[in-house]
Structure 1
């Protein structure tokens, strides 16, 4: 759905890596003397990486020195007219740079308009990238899988007797091939086969998710034929790509190769700097601000002198003042100035904030969040498994056939058995003697896996929203979403959540089954599998047995699917959300509520009987959600069961837990720690719990919320976090902390919690070091290229980008394990460790448990800010 606000021409801007927000209003200051006027010029409009570039600042008026900046970062300074400064360009400066200069005279400063220069990175050198392509040194370093190879007379021949059922069942290749983004490469080889056959030639990321850089399928006969292809590396550079021939799933034959060559530019000739795309110097919420709420913006600039700012409505000045110097911001590594224009309350569109001549993206003041809840909830229908996604609900671009509905080429999910085989650690799994119909549910993230653990926290968040709506008499109507169930007389929110609940209920092990399961904490040692009565336990996940590459529409996934062994954590996740289901659906669908409660009781008893079946990172094809501490899951499940039934046994389990009424200190709600979910339920759902306990639970929630609120004051970007690192899914941390602050507002009515929830949205929608709206369809620079196999327009123009309302995981300065993020390691700080790239799954994945709190927060803001 297109944004209802008309597009505006982009204002002048400066590439920059940081910004800041005012914590208190700044009064306008009239300088004693007028600031000098600065004009900046460069010796060239474009420059090869060899450099140098000469910047010249001409000053009118009195100045003691001129400071030169690139992206808001100080380059150096000069004290002699005409103030010349030389920049030595290198590959890290790839892209467009906008330089600025500040002339300093006494207590006043003037800043030049930015001057943009294109730094060109060109490397036309050609290098042979494959080793021993003529096989003069035998097979080294070539390797095989699924067959063996021999060499003679400059040929390597593979005798394929068991071709398997997948192309990758028989491989021949080598690793460590360095490819540059934008590099042009030429591949050539000669091949023949005893009987006519075909195979794939490819270059790919050597690890999950096996992103393909180049793929070609060729036909061969008994007559040797030479194949030559030229391609451009469209993905980010990869120092260790894998070159492969995939020869499986064909007829048994012998295939011989000779004269294999891959030539192109050597790896490392052009490595872009982290976050060096075209960003704006003035950072703010690119969607806009509510009329009577705080309005904070930020600008990164090394100077400790305040900068003048003006808020413009067209050419008319609405407000003006000077920045407050926030100073060093550890989370971004930047020196920040802040602007507060909260006094402006009149609704308007197309506003622009000018700071010392640099202008922000256009934004508006008004009811800017009215569509966000609906857009965020639409994520879940888009990602349904087992049903067609219809154009009449999502639009033509996002319509697709049903995925994993049991029809070719899919191999699940209507009849799926347990994984049988050897895992990555060498443990042998015997499988199980049954199949489950595990259809339906939501695809968890960028892959096609479905996970009970992550489904649990997502369902809890959305059902908690439904309970809040009911408690506060907020309409939760039929027809509020665009889904097939609209018009059935029931809440669309509950209709959508049921799609996942039905899948989770199907993942429960049938009664009477005994499975070989790992018992106790066995990290770091080969697993011992113990026969365990498993009826009522819940399978951890259903995924492909091997990772698939990008892009891949769900209905085109050819991989076999498998259930992975049941775990205590997954079992307690079902116990918790099924108990929650039993009370939330009681009025609208009592039969379904009864089914949920029965499953919750079975799961609770099964978990008590097998409390130590832990999840480990052992399998390919899906995420592990590994966890060896389930004390939080036991506490949370007991809380939900007690809130639903009021039974003494569950209250006894609650009081026996050391987590009773607690809130995790310094951490947010998430799949790996569900303590907060249990306490939030006990604090908000009416039960027979003594009033003193309810008050203690609420006090603990409020204390946690205050810590999150106060943390925002320590951050230049006003997000409710502490510290200088950003972990995987950092944006979800902002959202889940906002859920806690929203609950605290419900308990106290303290509007400071609402304001910091809004500060979190300001950060997510553009007021951040990347000048990026992390929500698709919102702002001038929205999320465009999430890690998702269907929303993959950057890889395939026939596929769509993300629909509106999808939130990215965001900056990650801890884990750089994907090939895109790897190039930023050691070159970025905290909140600047991000790129909007489909291959950056550690930074740019999207998931159900991140969009669920986005929907919760959007609904909360819509309710709490209406007057």
Structure 2
């Protein structure tokens, strides 16, 4: 993104432009599906509203708003406009007498397909070790092949030795690669394919041919899986390096200009357990397309799983010389997930017993607020949805009950929040990713016991991300109304294109009202693969 010092005239022009895009009606600016819920929030006193066809200027629906409802965290009285009765495809806007109009939006069966494509292609644009190229809204986004010397083994006992660690995705706004964060990322993306394959096959991602014979969605996942395989120690022990980075963060430079020495770090038990889970998932999802590769993944999973069984103590990663992302995880949740995925892939009874014991130790808890530091939900969900025999009936019943109760709580919280945010009242670094990831809880519950409320609440999360929020803005670069322009992303900050790289969800505010669209604010505006995977999953449930 070009850095310029604006003149007073430019600043005044920009201020006017932003004001001109301020609408009194807050809604999902991407659009709505014909048969599902449609609503908007209006933080201004109003009694009625109408829906107008944007192409004919004809009124198609008139409704009464409900409210007001005061919510402390946003310090607003909010009225709600429900226009679910409008189902005819087309382009529309809401008009509120005395206040004004909303931005235009679309009602269509494929309303979310372009957003789903753009958010998934964002992973391709994150690729490390090869040049990437994308064109979006008249701009060209590209990098040259980068980090081709990944990486050195100085920190795993071989000073000066170099081994192939190329590939994978850059983790976030920086150029590092981290196994623990890749764990929840690939786990959620494999879930997206497992739960919504029919939907995702409708999307053309326009990816390069790096995995012949694979569906495009899985082709992108294999790019990361190939790198994860390289993180296992080559000595046959099963240990897995925690990350591959330089010792400190680079400045805002393009990845091909980052020539600092990069290293495999020491192993951690969390990274090793996540490796097991991912390789087990890869083995079963890739088997139909490449049985030899799938077996390679499974063999690697077994080596690391046996190592973990022989070494039950927690091995924390110590940062030492490194100032890059820590991703410290307590590892009990990672081990539980590893056992669940290896059992689901192989049916091994020892893995099943391992999982059930660990699940009991964790009191079968299902978390509504989860990310890379606690992936126990992934293990619980895999077990609950599995059709394999041999489950302990009491364990299975308890986990199912807890999943449904958790989803019910999310429904209630979304219904009580004026912007229907399922993570109602909780804000922190990366909370937008959690809002998107809560759709996994809801969709899993819907698979266990179909309920329209689960689907509507998952849609509430999507709506919130794309403008049904306090700011009346999209949180995703290049998509929706007034999207972020200054993400904490080294490519966006270092290239010569004013608009940021497209399709990336930013982390969000630490309170309901403190989000800032500023490049320097990594804790508010960074992009990251774990949040991105959650966005891909959230959209996957609504692709037609």
TM normalised by structure 2 equals 0.89
How far 1:332 sits from its partner (Å)?
A: 1.8
1:24-63 → structure 2 map (5 Å cutoff): none
1:588-599 → structure 2 map (5 Å cutoff): 588-599=289-300
Find the aligned partners of 1:697 and 1:446 in 2 and give their Cα distance.
Answer: 36
Find the aligned partners of 1:393 and 1:588 in 2 and give their Cα distance.
Answer: 31
CA RMSD of aligned residues (A): 3.0
1:417 to 146, 153, 164: 153
Question: Helix, strand or coil: the match of 1:771?
Answer: coil
- 1:604 is the counterpart of 2:305: yes
State the partner residue of 2:11.
none
Change in Cα spacing, 1:714 to 1:431, as seen in structure 2 (3 Å) is: farther
1:486-497 → structure 2 map (5 Å cutoff): 488-497=212-221
1:240-255 → structure 2 map (5 Å cutoff): none
Larger strand share, 1 or 2: 1
State the partner residue of 2:515.
834
How far 1:841 sits from its partner (Å)?
A: 0.9
Find the aligned partners of 1:232 and 1:316 in 2 and give their Cα distance.
Answer: 45
1:383 to 100, 123, 126: 126
Change in Cα spacing, 1:300 to 1:396, as seen in structure 2 (3 Å) is: closer
Between 1:761-770 and 1:382-391, the stretch displaced more is 382-391
1:508-547 → structure 2 map (5 Å cutoff): 508-511=232-235, 535-547=237-249
How far 1:634 sits from its partner (Å)?
A: 1.0
Cα deviation code 1:340-363 (max 9, x no counterpart) = 122222222142332532221122
Cα deviation code 1:151-182 (max 9, x no counterpart) = xxxxxxxxxxxxxxxxxxxxxxxxxxxxxxxx
State the partner residue of 1:220.
none
Are the aligned partners of 2:135 and 2:141 in contact in 1 as well (CA < 8 Å)? no
Larger helix share, 1 or 2: 2
How far 1:695 sits from its partner (Å)?
A: 4.3
Find the aligned partners of 2:182 and 2:416 in 1 and give their Cα distance.
Answer: 33
How far 1:662 sits from its partner (Å)?
A: 6.0
Find the aligned partners of 2:20 and 2:525 in 1 and give their Cα distance.
Answer: 16
1:614-629 → structure 2 map (5 Å cutoff): 614-616=316-318, 618-627=320-329, 629=330
Question: Helix, strand or coil: the match of 1:311?
Answer: strand
Find the aligned partners of 1:350 and 1:860 in 2 and give their Cα distance.
Answer: 23
2:508 to 810, 820, 823: 810
1:259-338 → structure 2 map (5 Å cutoff): 279-301=22-44, 306-314=46-54, 315-338=57-80
How far 1:736 sits from its partner (Å)?
A: 1.1
User: Whose relative contact order is higher, 1 or 2, with alpha carbons under 8 Å and at least 6 apart?
Assistant: 2
Unmatched tracts of structure 2, length 5 or more: 8-14
Are the aligned partners of 1:479 and 1:486 in contact in 2 as well (CA < 8 Å)? no
Question: Helix, strand or coil: the match of 1:837?
Answer: coil
How far 1:320 sits from its partner (Å)?
A: 2.6
Are the aligned partners of 1:456 and 1:671 in contact in 2 as well (CA < 8 Å)? yes
1:773 to 469, 474, 490: 474
State the partner residue of 1:720.
422
1:425-444 → structure 2 map (5 Å cutoff): 434-444=161-171
State the partner residue of 1:515.
none
Change in Cα spacing, 1:374 to 1:545, as seen in structure 2 (3 Å) is: same
- 1:801 is the counterpart of 2:499: yes
State the partner residue of 1:688.
389
- 1:459 is the counterpart of 2:186: yes
How far 1:338 sits from its partner (Å)?
A: 1.6
- 1:400 is the counterpart of 2:143: yes
Are the aligned partners of 1:729 and 1:809 in contact in 2 as well (CA < 8 Å)? yes
Cα deviation code 1:598-625 (max 9, x no counterpart) = 1111111222344321135555442111
Cα deviation code 1:601-657 (max 9, x no counterpart) = 111122234432113555544211122x21111111011111112112212212321
Are the aligned partners of 2:49 and 2:64 in contact in 1 as well (CA < 8 Å)? yes
How far 1:745 sits from its partner (Å)?
A: 1.5
State the partner residue of 1:361.
103
Find the aligned partners of 1:618 and 1:278 in 2 and give their Cα distance.
Answer: 48
Change in Cα spacing, 1:334 to 1:469, as seen in structure 2 (3 Å) is: closer
Find the aligned partners of 2:463 and 2:248 in 1 and give their Cα distance.
Answer: 39
Cα deviation code 1:750-804 (max 9, x no counterpart) = 1111111111111111111111111223223122221111123xx65x1363444
How far 1:398 sits from its partner (Å)?
A: 1.2
How far 1:691 sits from its partner (Å)?
A: 7.1
Question: Helix, strand or coil: the match of 1:701?
Answer: helix
Find the aligned partners of 1:631 and 1:734 in 2 and give their Cα distance.
Answer: 24
Unmatched tracts of structure 1, length 5 or more: 1-210, 214-230, 235-271, 406-411, 421-429, 513-534, 814-829
Find the aligned partners of 2:174 and 2:225 in 1 and give their Cα distance.
Answer: 20
How far 1:835 sits from its partner (Å)?
A: 1.5
State the partner residue of 2:12.
none
Find the aligned partners of 1:675 and 1:489 in 2 and give their Cα distance.
Answer: 32
Question: Helix, strand or coil: the match of 1:398?
Answer: strand
Are the aligned partners of 1:775 and 1:808 in contact in 2 as well (CA < 8 Å)? yes
1:638 to 319, 330, 339: 339
TM normalised by structure 1 equals 0.57
Question: Helix, strand or coil: the match of 2:454?
Answer: helix
Find the aligned partners of 2:164 and 2:512 in 1 and give their Cα distance.
Answer: 43
Find the aligned partners of 2:86 and 2:517 in 1 and give their Cα distance.
Answer: 33
Are the aligned partners of 2:241 and 2:265 in contact in 1 as well (CA < 8 Å)? yes
2:207 to 473, 478, 483: 483
Change in Cα spacing, 1:726 to 1:328, as seen in structure 2 (3 Å) is: same
Change in Cα spacing, 1:477 to 1:852, as seen in structure 2 (3 Å) is: same
Find the aligned partners of 2:296 and 2:392 in 1 and give their Cα distance.
Answer: 31
State the partner residue of 2:526.
845
Question: Helix, strand or coil: the match of 1:435?
Answer: coil
Find the aligned partners of 2:222 and 2:240 in 1 and give their Cα distance.
Answer: 18
Find the aligned partners of 1:635 and 1:699 in 2 and give their Cα distance.
Answer: 19
How far 1:475 sits from its partner (Å)?
A: 6.7
How far 1:699 sits from its partner (Å)?
A: 2.9
Find the aligned partners of 1:366 and 1:642 in 2 and give their Cα distance.
Answer: 41
